[in-house]
């Protein structure tokens, strides 16, 4: 199977997207870091012929040899790993934006189901904002009740 670098990078990014969608992880840079390293590892080709075929890409042969390696093959495979890692970090923001909708109130990115869950009237928002809205509504109710009670007390007073 002959691959070019673009395909390898695109495949890795696609798998990153699937994984994030599956695991629904938000705001965990460490977790993304581990996931990216793991994916980069698994997307570096295994066979010498495939590795050497990718050496043909300028992004690979022009790259500094940061990861070392005793053989040319090890050096090329290290650069492929670096290229994939870089590509995944570059694409991460867009992937997250695509998967997690923004709360229309606080603009935090949250899980889609959170937005759906709070979609009572009109636009849904995050759980935090929904709590604030509920609290504000309760306060308003209490205030209205207090006013009503005061009015009643006033009427009672007058009728005495
Ligand atoms: Zn919010």
Q: Identify the pLDDT of residue 84.
A: 97
Task: Please give all residues whose CB falls under 5 A of ion ligand 1, grouped by chain where several chains appear.
Answer: 103, 105-106, 125-126, 129
Cβ-contact 84, 8 below 8 angstroms? yes
| pLDDT value of residue 57 | 93
Indicate if 106 and 124 belong to the same structural domain: yes
Report pLDDT for 42: 97
Range of the domain at 132: 101-160
58 with 126, same domain: the answer is: no
> In the numeric block, which tokens belong to residue 123?
């636009």
From CA 149, how far away is CA 50, in angstroms rounded?
Answer: 81
Instruction: Measure 108 CA to ligand 1 centroid, in angstroms.
Output: 6
Is 149 found in the same domain as 86? no
Distance 31 CA to ligand 1 centre (A): 23
Assess whether 86 and 57 both reside in one domain.
yes
Q: E strands along the chain, which residues?
A: none
* Shared-domain flag, residues 30 and 70: yes
SS3 state of residue 102: strand
Same domain, 93 and 120: no
- At 3 the pLDDT is 75
Residues 58 and 127 in one domain: no
The predicted pLDDT at position 27 comes to 67
Helix, coil or strand: residue 109: strand
User: Considering 79, 100, 121, which residue would you say is the last residue of a domain?
Assistant: 100
Q: Name the domain boundary from 81, 100, 119.
A: 100
DSSP readout, 55-81? TTSHHHHTS---S--SSHHHHHHHHHH
121 and 82: one domain?
no
Residues 106 and 54 in one domain: no
Chunk the chain into consecutive blocks of 10 residues (it has 160) and report each block's average pLDDT, rounded to whole numbers. 84 95 79 93 96 93 89 95 96 90 91 87 87 92 89 86
The total domain count for the chain is 2
Centre of ligand 1 to C-alpha 69, Å, is 48
Residues 56 and 116 in one domain: no
Residues 12 and 62 in one domain: yes
């Amino acid at each position: 199977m002959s691959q070019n670098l673009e395909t390898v990078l695109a495949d890795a990014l696609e798998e990153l997207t699937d994984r994030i969608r599956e695991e629904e992880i938000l705001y965990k840079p460490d977790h993304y870091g581990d996931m990216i390293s793991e994916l980069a590892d698994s997307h570096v080709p295994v066979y010498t012929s495939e590795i050497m075929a990718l050496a043909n890409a300028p992004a690979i042969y022009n790259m500094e040899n940061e990861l070392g390696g005793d053989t040319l093959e090890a050096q090329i495979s290290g650069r492929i790993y670096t290229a994939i890692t870089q590509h995944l970090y570059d694409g991460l923001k867009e992937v997250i934006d695509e998967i997690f909708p923004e709360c229309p109130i606080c603009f935090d990115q949250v899980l889609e189901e959170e937005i759906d869950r709070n979609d009572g009237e009109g636009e849904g928002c995050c759980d935090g904002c929904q709590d604030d809205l509920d609290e504000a509504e309760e306060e308003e109710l209490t205030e209205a009740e207090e006013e009503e009670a005061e009015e009643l007390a006033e009427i009672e007073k007058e009728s005495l």
